[in-house]
């Protein structure tokens, strides 16, 4: 083999090695945490995100969580890169030091969470919860609803006995009569109404916005802004389709949730759709939530929400 031939062979081998290395480096997995509600359930089912990200060498892995606090714990320890929760879980997670970023939010859905009473309960007002046991998932979106409802009724948080349980355990306690009330969100809310004939004492109207938030681990969002932007766009597309196809959405989601169509339909209708990037108004609302929990000493320090808002690339922001 001549010197020139050998040189060309080595160059070709080196180029092939670099090409393989580039493919290997670009190959990524987007790990998404989801719950039993909202556009992520449908997006997972459709496979649209996987198709879109395949061109970028990105695969998608989905993990279900029972509630927002558990999901954000997964994000904090590095088991997922992106997920959706209600308003309160990000506040508790940020206070605990989670390196997260608010990426996008859904419009307000105050009917999607409520304080429930068992069938036959004599309680007629939130003020009558004084001295009662109230079940809720600590640090979840309904935690703030309970705080606001109590304050609106002239009660302090210390006037009730909170019983911190995840949804499945809370429902069991509610059915047994071990607690006097249960603060919960859809689809668990709709299921309790229809299966247990539970009665809504107070929903979120006039008290909370009940935004759903999409959050990312800061390292992932900063390293892969185009992937995050594509994900938000697909979530928005899914939400827009859902808004005009409630019957089809119900038929698709009911078997995924393992719930009857009537329950699923109630939850789907109370949800709001149309994800968008974080606005100053939403930051201000989240800041109020964070300040409330800080004043109640339920989180250890004051927070600055504006510090943990994702700043998309200029082209992405303009497109939004």
**Residue pLDDT, tens place only, 170-214:** 999 999 999 999 999 999 999 999 999 999 999 999 999 999 999
27, pLDDT greater than 60: no
Instruction: CATH number for 8-107+211-267+274-319: choose from 3.90.1010.10, 3.30.479.30, 3.40.190.10, 3.20.20.70.
Output: 3.40.190.10
Per-residue H/E/C for the chain: CCHHHHHHHHHHHHHHHHHHHHHHHHCEEEEEEECCCCHHHHHHHHCHHHHHHHCCCEEEEEEECCCHHHHHHHHHCCCCCEEEECCHHHHHHHHCCCCEEEEEECCCCHHHEEEEECCCCCCCCHHHHCCCEEEECCCCHHHHHHHHHHHHCCCCHHHCEEEECCHHHHHHHHHHCCCCEEEEECCHHHHHHHHHCCEEEEECCCCCCCCCEEEEEHHHHHHCHHHHHHHHHHHHHHHHHHHCCHHHHHHHHHHHHCCCHHHHHHHHHHCCCCCEECCHHHHHHHHHHHHHHHHCCCCCCCCCHHHHECCCCHHHHHHC
Measured between alpha carbons, how far is 92 from 264 in angstroms, rounded to an integer? Answer: 29
| Sheet strands side by side (includes 82-85) | 58-64, 28-34, 82-85, 213-217, 100-105, 276-277
Question: In percent, how much of the chain has pLDDT > 90?
Answer: 79
Enumerate the CATH 3.40.190.10 domain ranges in the chain, comma separated. 8-107+211-267+274-319, 110-203
Instruction: Look up the CATH architecture of domain 110-203.
Output: 3-Layer(aba) Sandwich (3.40)
Of the two residues 252 and 115, the one the predictor is more confident about is 115
153, pLDDT greater than 80: yes
Q: How confident is the model at residue 15 (pLDDT cuts 50, 70, 90)?
A: very low
**Residue pLDDT, tens place only, 42-78:** 899 889 999 999 988 999 999 999 888 899 999 999 9
Q: How confident is the model at residue 307 (pLDDT cuts 50, 70, 90)?
A: very high
**Residue pLDDT, tens place only, 227-275:** 999 999 999 999 999 989 999 999 988 998 889 999 999 999 999 999 9
The per-residue pLDDT for 316 is 55
The per-residue pLDDT for 22 is 31
Average pLDDT of the residues in 296-310: 95
């Amino acid at each position: 083999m001549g010197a020139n031939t050998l040189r060309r062979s080595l160059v070709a081998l080196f180029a092939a090695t670099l090409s393989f290395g580039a493919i290997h480096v670009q190959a990524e997995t987007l790990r998404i945490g989801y719950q039993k509600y909202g556009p992520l359930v449908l997006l997972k089912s459709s496979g649209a995100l996987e198709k879109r990200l395949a061109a970028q060498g990105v695969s998608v892995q989905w993990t279900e969580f029972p509630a927002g606090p558990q999901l954000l714990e997964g994000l904090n320890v590095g088991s997922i890169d992106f997920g959706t929760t209600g308003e309160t879980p990000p506040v508790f997670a940020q206070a605990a030091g989670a390196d997260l970023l608010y990426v996008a939010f859904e419009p307000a859905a105050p009917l999607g969470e409520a304080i429930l009473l068992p069938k036959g309960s004599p309680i007629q007002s939130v003020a009558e919860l004084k001295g009662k046991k109230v079940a809720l998932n600590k640090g979840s979106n309904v935690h703030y609803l309970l705080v606001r409802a109590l304050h609106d009724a002239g009660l302090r948080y210390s006037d009730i006995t909170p019983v911190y349980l995840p949804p499945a355990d809370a429902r069991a306690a509610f059915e047994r009569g071990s607690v006097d009330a249960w603060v919960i969100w859809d689809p668990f809310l709709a299921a309790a109404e229809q299966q247990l004939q539970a009665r809504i004492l107070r929903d979120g109207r006039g008290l909370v916005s009940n935004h759903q938030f999409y959050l990312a681990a800061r390292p992932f969002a900063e390293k892969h802004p185009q992937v995050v932007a594509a994900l938000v766009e697909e979530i928005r597309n899914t939400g827009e389709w859902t808004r005009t196809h409630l019957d089809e959405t119900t038929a698709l989601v009911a078997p995924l949730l393992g719930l009857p169509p009537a329950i699923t339909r109630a939850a789907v209708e109370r949800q709001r759709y149309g994800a968008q990037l974080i606005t100053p108004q939403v930051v201000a609302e989240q800041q109020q939530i964070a300040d409330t929990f800080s004043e109640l000493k339920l989180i250890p320090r004051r927070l600055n929400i504006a510090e943990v808002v994702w700043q998309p690339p200029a082209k992405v922001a303009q497109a939004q």
